[in-house]
Structure 1
């Protein structure tokens, strides 16, 4: 949209990250609503509702962060925690392909749901969130790690940008289940949405007041500096967003951005499409098995064959052990 609210690019629709800029506030960001892609990824697993919602948040966060990459590569988001959901993994590739899965203890998740403890902090517990940028085999990986200490993925995202990137950032994530009737049957679908807003003024001294100045001696409190007025306003506007606005198909990303920033003028750019695309293949699995020792091949045999299931998409691959050197 231009400052007058006139649409300048095709609507993003579902499953497309929409970059935007509010020049008057020196902020940039991306917004997204996820629908069919989210459903496809979650449908590949029999996740409890609370786990589906948590993985949905991780998928949205990975798109918001990964869609900013300007090179061919991959953004990987992974948690390692001690809670009922001890691992979330999301791969986002710069061609728009993504995949994700959750590892969880079914009994612990059921107990948490029965007690109403389904907030992200209770499901994840304590541990770390690792965010990795992979630029390909010829380049070094960059990884940022932040603690997860009973907080949300939004909280972890804020910590990452404050400590690692030194960019004032606000993130919003929401996931909701929708129900409808089609030909007399109840149909359940998942939708998710998210927004990232970052303060990027040309003058670097305008950023510093919102960022930590370094480690202070134990017991000493560091007085926070005054925040820039433009960033205060941007944060206030983002703070008005309600969860249902992020997931409601009647409030697409363009409309939400207009609601937030129309008085300041918001410009949107070409959307970045997201698709469900697992990178597994029979050739890759076969190559992995060929690297196994004879003992590892023997341990992999069940009922006379080797069966491998992709944890991300659920695709199954069957092999004859005799085709591998370790199995002959």
Structure 2
């Protein structure tokens, strides 16, 4: 079910949603992600330093933008492995709407960066892997992009240029909203937002063969013109769409008063945007006592003995911080 964007009076942004849209006059499709309580709960439970929270928040938004394009039951995982102060980010999206995330970092190294703790400086050099897993008896797809001093936005552009050859523009932003009630201390909450736009023209003269599913585009997989990313002559429609996306300021992606529809009106009011049914995101971990017990059962008795302290084994989930306690006899 869809409706034109911008006809109703724009309303405050719904929390934790991804809104697919199309601008048919420019042959582009995309998604807008606005995350409030979901990203705040993930970041707050770990008490990350602010630069790490911002970096992981960007990774969560990027994962939601990409994961909601899946048209089947499965998982999309974004993971970095680098030599920087934040040596690992893991964001796990499970269709249709579940997301969890974790960052591993060197606190002293992050603090030493100070004001220079940009996403590129925090990540350092290494690689980013994006994995699509449809479950048992299927082959996983994985795309790997080098991380060499680039931001997550720049890495996303590299990924689409080399792996899918779809002209793509991504914007990511993470901010902290401070509110105060009379007689109470200020309340800090994280918000994150992002926008992904892809050039998917209908005309055969403007497209070349592409193997992967085009995301929100209905029907059969169409082909896209890779010229914008491959050094060829750029299509005027794509130049216009990309230029409009580049005008977005960070606060427009994190302001609670700017809804996805309102943002699209700001960008594409001359062309008109059509929106589709939004997807609500949920902060949900996949861990359980049964799964943890199964992992512990895979260790040898000697290994479990080393894990036992005061007669019990304590396991803490790195994603959701849930603590599981087992007596030695249970496993």
Tell me the TM-score normalised to structure 1 length. 0.91
Distance 1:268 1:4 in 2: 6
1:122 and 2:96 equivalent? no
In the alignment, which residue of structure 2 is the partner of 1:60? Answer: 61
Structure 1 position 321, deviation (Å)? 1.3
Distance 2:6 2:109 in 1: 49
1:266 and 2:265 equivalent? no
Kindly report which structure 2 residues correspond to 1:179-198, keeping only aligned pairs within 5 A, or say none. 179-182=178-181, 183-198=183-198
Q: Cα RMSD (Å) of the superposition?
A: 1.8
Contact 1:172 1:194 in 2 (8 A): yes
Contact 1:3 1:264 in 2 (8 A): no
Contact 1:3 1:262 in 2 (8 A): no
Tell me the TM-score normalised to structure 2 length. 0.90
Structure 1 position 29, deviation (Å)? 0.3
Contact 2:79 2:89 in 1 (8 A): yes
In the alignment, which residue of structure 1 is the partner of 2:162? Answer: 163
Structure 2 gaps of 5+ residues are 209-223
Distance 1:307 1:150 in 2: 38
Structure 1 position 60, deviation (Å)? 0.2
In the alignment, which residue of structure 1 is the partner of 2:219? Answer: none
Distance 2:48 2:76 in 1: 24
1:48 and 2:53 equivalent? no
Contact 2:161 2:226 in 1 (8 A): no
Q: Secondary structure at the match of 1:292?
A: coil
1:306 and 2:313 equivalent? yes
Distance 2:49 2:5 in 1: 45
Deviations 1:24-59 (A, max 9, x none): 100000001110111111111021011011000000
In the alignment, which residue of structure 1 is the partner of 2:113? Answer: 112
Structure 1 position 211, deviation (Å)? 3.1
Aligned length: 311
Deviations 1:52-100 (A, max 9, x none): 1100000000000000000001100000000000000000111201100
Kindly report which structure 2 residues correspond to 1:19-38, keeping only aligned pairs within 5 A, or say none. 19-38=20-39
Kindly report which structure 2 residues correspond to 1:61-210, keeping only aligned pairs within 5 A, or say none. 61-113=62-114, 116-182=115-181, 183-202=183-202, 203=204, 204-205=207-208, 207-210=225-228
